[in-house]
Amino acid sequence: MSSTATPSSLDIRRVAVVGAGTIGASWAALFLAHGLEVVVSDPGAHAEGQTRARVQAAWPVLTELGHVQPGASPDALRFEPDLEAALAGVDFVQENAPEREDFKIDLFERMDAILPPHAIVASSSSGLIMSRLQSRCRHAERFVIGHPFNPPHLIPLVEVVGGSQTSAATIDRSIAFYRSMGKHPIRLNKEVPGHIANRLQAALWREAIHLAAENVATVADIDAAVSQGPGLRWALFGPHMTFNLGGGEGGLAHFMHHLLGPVQTWWDDLGAPDVTPELQRRLIEGVNAEAGHRSIADLVEARDSQLTALLKTLHR
């Protein structure tokens, strides 16, 4: 785990997690593990019980990965359904409410009116544009995107990008805060829908769907073409560094000289599938065949235990 600042050196001690579904509960577990004061707010009828259960479930892995600080406990979680009470005196908010622009604009305006001026609000939004989300806030400078990957308590990447009114100080403090939580934040220089990683995933998925639609292989074999092949290298290096090595001693320059022509012909042939209800049905049938007798719970358990082993091996 890389760590350049402690939460206390950043004056971030009290954190609110607003919206505690899949993503919020996972963030709450990570923040608790690092010994922060964590208050969770979610109006859902069963939200408190579900959040506590998810945090308990995440704790063994967080312990195994060395995130749990002395004295930290999942029982320290405070649940407060009332937003105003939850936000009193907090330094940092991680927002994980439903992914709807109008909803988040309203919620941000409400949070802005309640929060002390120094508090930062980071949104987990998977792809909304911060300039629009912060548009009705008086202290718009403290709103930023801090986009994690599921599950945030395990995957290191956090994409950080400000809107047109976000201050440089908010971006810098958010990056330092995520580093202090053992994350690997990256800084986007400009806003784009879907940020970076979801656009990359979407590009790959579009072609995977196209290949399935064209019956080039089964859904299971197309998935294996990623997970049994380049996906293994992508855990270590991104596409540029991977091809830098693909060029041997000549690096990326040789790779491009040698293979850019053929790659260009593949780019020209990539598909843009019309994902009709019939195609959706075929993809679902294909993935069910790939899953076989394994339930979603089985697959999540396998993903998280193998991911933990991988993160330990890679020292992340």
Contact positions vs ligand NAD (CB under 6 A): 18-24, 41-44, 47, 96-99, 107, 124-126, 147-148, 150
Give me the least distance between CB of 128 and ligand NAD, in Å please.
7
Q: How many residues does the chain have?
A: 316
Q: Residue 182 and residue 176: Cα distance in Å, rounded?
A: 10
Give me the least distance between CB of 80 and ligand NAD, in Å please.
11
Helix axes 47-64, 22-33, angle to 10 degrees: 50
C-alpha atoms less than 13 angstroms from C-alpha of 298 in its C-beta half-sphere: 5
Give me the least distance between CB of 287 and ligand NAD, in Å please.
16
Give me the least distance between CB of 17 and ligand NAD, in Å please.
9
CA angle 257, 263, 269 (to 5 degrees): 155
Q: Are strands 14-18 and 92-95 parallel, antiparallel or unpaired?
A: parallel
Q: Residue 311 and residue 65: Cα distance in Å, rounded?
A: 8
Give me the least distance between CB of 232 and ligand NAD, in Å please.
22
Residue closer to ligand NAD by CB (options 34, 147) is: 147
For residue 148 the two structure tokens come to: 């994690």
Q: Residue 171 and residue 220: Cα distance in Å, rounded?
A: 41
Residue closer to ligand NAD by CB (options 122, 211) is: 122
Residue closer to ligand NAD by CB (options 21, 247) is: 21
Which phi and psi (to 5°) does residue 306 adopt? -70, -35
Residue closer to ligand NAD by CB (options 19, 182) is: 19
Residue closer to ligand NAD by CB (options 198, 242) is: 198
Q: Residue 35 and residue 33: Cα distance in Å, rounded?
A: 5
Give me the least distance between CB of 8 and ligand NAD, in Å please.
27
Q: Residue 41 and residue 120: Cα distance in Å, rounded?
A: 16
Residue closer to ligand NAD by CB (options 107, 144) is: 107
Residue nearest to ligand NAD (CB): 21
Please report which helix (H) or strand (E) contains residue 287, including its range: helix 277-291
Give me the least distance between CB of 189 and ligand NAD, in Å please.
21
Residue closer to ligand NAD by CB (options 44, 60) is: 44
Residue 183 carries which side chain, given as an amino acid letter?
Answer: K
Q: Residue 129 and residue 126: Cα distance in Å, rounded?
A: 10
